[in-house]
Homo-oligomer: A and B are copies of this chain.
Amino acid sequence: MKKEIIVVKFGGSSLATPERIKNAALRVLSFKKKGKSPVVVVSAPGDTTDELIKEARSICKNPQEREMDMLLSTGEQKTIALMAMALSRKRCKVISFTGHQLGILTDANYSNARIRSVSSHKLEDAIKNGYVVVVAGFQGMTEDGEITTLGRGGSDLTAIALAATLSAECKIFTDVEGIYTANPAVYKKAKKIDIITYDEMLEMASAGATVMQARSVELAKNRDVSFEVASSFKCTSGTLVCREDKLLEELVVTNVTEDKNQIKITVVGVPDRPGIAAEIFTALADKNVCVDMIIQSAAKSTPEGKAVNSISFTVKKEDMEKAKKILRVIKKKLAAEDILIENKVAKVSIVGSGMKTHSGVAARMFSVLAKNRINIEMISTSEIKISCVINEKSIEKAVKALAEEFGL
């Protein structure tokens, strides 16, 4: 009888010490005992990746990306060997593979490569022969045999890609117990969500939730790989992320998310003619500055009778200096009046696939904020998410008020 395959992924904090690696191995064995064939995807242990980056920077300020990937991929290679040892210690038949050994083919976009294909035969052979397979997350190989890494959240991506290739279920073990209705550090009454859709999870990621990167959730959605996010330290069940039709009942709002890592930038008084917005945002995109919300005010006339606009948008805090530099050039080029930067802002979002069929959710959100005397600076909406930029100091009050309003 063919055993059911399960892909289990452990993050760096779950593998930070030999003891934790041993514990993770026990968790893997518990699936084996249940008659499943585990495929284990691991990250680099603890802070290894950060330490390697620091070491590289101490040698060269701008290391080549190819060599950076050569360096960083050693972290996961270390963990697969240690995890295999921890499993074999328990008399488990086990074999480890690096990304290149397994044929995880990527493009040559070093440090942020995309997976092109996963060749399944080596993996399937090992599983068929009764091995628990341990795979290095976060890494792949180009067609020319060059080592690449997949960027932030890359190990989750590896796990989802393998689950898709093997048509397997997938568990992402991490240092939280699942997805919460709000950040438990901000709103103590936040509850763990049992089940959530890919789209809700995606909107949450873009709204600032840090449990998982959007690209992994997108891949899961595209290949319909439902996965569970659960704690590697506790044996409780986590949050299942899956297709919408698997949900019995859609909640109007499942989650409230805060994101303090935002600054608001306003380009004041640019000419009201086509192509201006394109010019600004192309310049930012060229330098990899990721723009989140964008608002353009209605055009107004200057005393000289020229029609001018203001354009506001938010970027991540770490991009502030880069953005300032780009906008100084833009300001001259477009003869803009001014560039205003507010770095005391934050974004609060509510997410829920039930919004699509329930009207008035936005209105309820705005009223709650108004009742709490929180001024809304920017608004952005999607089908299943509403985000507001507000003053940073009001963010916790906003999260609590919204969580209570929507019963989270």
Contacts and interface: CB of A to CB of B under 8 A. Distances in A.
Interface string A54-87: 0110111101101110110110011011101110
Task: Indicate how many identical chains form the complex.
Answer: 2
A85 B101 contact: no
Contacts of A55: 18, 82
Nearest to A95: B66
A329 to B, nearest CB: 28
A70 B64 contact: no
Nearest to A63: B85
A88 B63 contact: yes
Contact of A82 (B59, B73, B145): B59
A86 B63 CA distance: 9
A81 B86 contact: no
Contacts of A74: 74, 77-78, 81
Contacts of A98: 70, 147
Nearest to A73: B77
A264 interface: no
A71 B64 contact: no
B71 A88 contact: no
Secondary structure dominating the interface of A: helix
A59 B96 contact: no
A159 interface: no
Given A60-B86, A86-B60, A89-B59, A81 B96 contact: no
A127 interface: no
Given A22-B59, A64-B88, 6 more contacts: A67-B81, A70-B80, A70-B96, A71-B78, A74-B78, A101-B146
Contact of A85 (B67, B82, B146): B67
A146 B101 CA distance: 8
18 contacts: A18-B55, A18-B58, A56-B81, A60-B85, A60-B86, A63-B81, A64-B85, A70-B80, A70-B81, A71-B78, A71-B81, A73-B77, A74-B74, A74-B77, A74-B81, A77-B77, A98-B147, A101-B145
A73 B98 CA distance: 12
Contacts of A85: 56, 59-60, 63-64, 67, 71
Contacts of A71: 77-78, 81-82, 85
Contacts of A7: none
A66 to B, nearest CB: 8
A52 interface: yes
Given A85-B64, A88-B64, A145-B101, A21 B70 contact: no
B86 A59 contact: yes
Interface in A248-262: none
Nearest to A25: B59
Contacts of A56: 81-82, 85
A67 B89 CA distance: 12
B77 A64 contact: no
A81 B60 contact: no
B78 A64 contact: no
